[in-house]
Amino acid sequence: MNEVIKAMEERRSIRSFKPDMPPKADIQQIVEAGLYAASARGRQDVITVAVTNKELRDRISDANRKVGGWDEGFDPFYGAPVILIVLADKTQHNYVYDGSLVMGNLMLAAHSVGLGSIWIHRAKEEFEQEEWKRFLAELGIEGEWEGIGHCAVGYPKGEIPPAAPRKEGRVFWAE
């Protein structure tokens, strides 16, 4: 099977990660793949914040946990050491589509370099909070940004779960 299609079919969401930090070169490659996602009118507006600092990663995890309403101690990033936060310019018409496509590229690229990943939601609610708007400002990021998703990345711990059977009846041919 063609390598790209194979990766698309074999990528799975990982919900248990080892704490080990992947090499920066791998993380850079994944982020770079995100930059090559298609974007409406070729605007390339979507940005990615690559978080590898453990203390910061834990703070974001805690913010995410609170948005999700989980008890203290639960890590919604399942132990992943790298969090790639995708944000899109909400003043642009197609920003959610553009941001989602970047997320897809990141997850596929992670799989292709032998890492696990998962889309973790609630970035929208996080980046509506003053603390996290300030965080963006401190990085020099100005503007109206909506959190699209977190791509949590790391080495999978344990077995890769099998894909759920594909639902039937979702393709309609009009030949």
Ligand X SMILES: Cc1cc2nc3c(=O)[nH]c(=O)nc-3n(C[C@H](O)[C@H](O)[C@H](O)COP(=O)(O)O)c2cc1C
In whole angstroms, what is the distance from residue 21 CA to residue 1 CA?
31
Give the nearest distance from C-beta 1 to ligand X in angstroms: 17
Q: Please say which residue, 6 or 24, places its beta carbon nearer to ligand X.
A: 6
Q: Please say which residue, 38 or 139, places its beta carbon nearer to ligand X.
A: 38
What crossing angle do the helices spanning 95-112 and 3-10 adopt, rounded to 10°?
Answer: 100
Q: Which residues of the chain form contacts with ligand X (CB under 6 A)?
A: 12-13, 15, 118-121, 163
The total number of residues shown for the chain amounts to: 175
Q: Please say which residue, 64 or 92, places its beta carbon nearer to ligand X.
A: 64
Q: 87 pairs with which residues across the strands?
A: 47, 147
Give the nearest distance from C-beta 149 to ligand X in angstroms: 6
Tokens standing for 63? 């913010």
In whole angstroms, what is the distance from residue 85 CA to residue 119 CA?
10
Give the nearest distance from C-beta 137 to ligand X in angstroms: 25
Q: Please say which residue, 18 or 124, places its beta carbon nearer to ligand X.
A: 124
Give the nearest distance from C-beta 88 to ligand X in angstroms: 13
In whole angstroms, what is the distance from residue 72 CA to residue 115 CA?
27
